[in-house]
Copies of this chain bind each other. A is one copy, B any other.
Amino acid sequence: MISKAQLKWVKSLQLKKYRQAEQCFVVQGMKGVLELMGSDFEVELVAGTEDMLSHVLAKSKRHVNNVIASSAALETMGSFQSNDAVLAVAKMKSVKPPVPNASEFFLVLDDIRDPGNLGTIIRTADWFGIKRIIASQHTADFYNPKVISATMGSFCRVEVSYTDLIFYLSDCEVPVYGAFLSGADIHEERFSQGGIIVIGNESNGISPAVEQFVRHRIFIPGFGLAESLNAAIATGIILDNIFRSK
C-alpha cells in the first residue's frame, strides 16, 4: 500500500514549484497512464486500485515502480472525477524551441492562460499531426495536471517549449499566420507547406509585440453576434483549413 510519504509527495506535485524542484509531474486516469507507459518518458511510480494497477501492468512491457492505493488516497493525491482510479508520476523532459521549418507547421502560443485550453490545443495539434508548440513564458504550465488531463494522452506526442516569443519570432524566416478580426477570409487563403501559426491570449488575442511578426493575417468568418471564438476552437478551425488545402 502507498505510504504517507509517497502520498504527500504526489500531492505536492499539483503545485508548479514542487514539480520544478522534483522535475516530476502527475498523469491521472487510465487513458493518460497507458499512453505514458507507451512513451519515452521515464516513469517513477504508478499508483492505483488493485484492478486498475493490474490492468496497466498487464498492458505494458515496462517494469515500473508500482503501488496499490485506495480510491480515497488517489482522490487526495489528484482531482479525480471518474472511477478511472490510477495515476503515474513521470520525469519532466527538457525541451528546446525548435528551429522554424518551411515544410512543417509549429504552433506559437501567445499567453494561453487556461490549463484546459492549453491541453485541448495540444490534443488538437496532435490530431492534425503537429508535433511542436512554442509557448510564451506566461502560457499555462505544460505539466499542470489539468493540462496533462485535457490532452487525453497527446502530451506524449507533442513537445511544448517555453521561450521569449519576440526573440523567437524575430529570427524566423518562414510564413507566420495569425487570426485577426481584420484578417483575410481563411477559406480563401492558400497556405504554405509549413511555418508558424500564432494563437492569441483568451481575452486579448495576439499581443501587439507579437503581431508585428504576423505577415499573414487570417479571419474565420462568423455569422452571429459572438465577439470571438475560444482560442482552442480557433486553433482547430485554422488547422482544419490548413491541412484540407494540402
Is A127 in contact with B232, judged by CB distance below 8 angstroms? no
Q: Is A48 an interface residue (CB 8 A)?
A: no
Within 8 Å by CB of A243, from B128, B157, B223, B228, lies B223
Within 8 Å by CB of A230, from B120, B130, B226, lies B120
Q: Is A179 an interface residue (CB 8 A)?
A: no
A142 to B125, CA, bound (A): 29
Query: Which residue on B lies nearest to A150, using beta carbons?
Result: B230
Within 8 Å by CB of A223, from B116, B129, B227, B235, lies B129
Q: Specify which chain B residues have a CB less than 8 angstroms from the CB of A220 in the assembled complex.
A: 127, 240
> Residues of A within 8 Å of B, CB-based: how many?
38
**How far apart are A218's CB and chain B's nearest CB, in angstroms?**
12
A222 to B157, CA, bound (A): 14
Query: Which residue on B lies nearest to A230, using beta carbons?
Result: B120
Q: Specify which chain B residues have a CB less than 8 angstroms from the CB of A241 in the assembled complex.
A: 240
Is A229 in contact with B127, judged by CB distance below 8 angstroms? yes
Is A229 in contact with B116, judged by CB distance below 8 angstroms? no
**How far apart are A234's CB and chain B's nearest CB, in angstroms?**
8
For the A-B complex with A123-B230, A153-B226 known, give 5 more contacts whose Cβ atoms are closer than 8 Å: A126-B225, A126-B226, A128-B224, A221-B243, A232-B232
Question: Could you jot down 30 A-B contacts, CB within 8 Å?
Answer: A116-B116, A120-B230, A120-B233, A123-B226, A123-B230, A123-B233, A124-B226, A124-B230, A124-B233, A126-B226, A127-B220, A127-B226, A127-B228, A127-B229, A129-B222, A129-B224, A130-B224, A150-B230, A152-B226, A152-B230, A154-B224, A157-B225, A221-B244, A230-B232, A233-B235, A233-B236, A236-B236, A236-B237, A237-B237, A240-B241
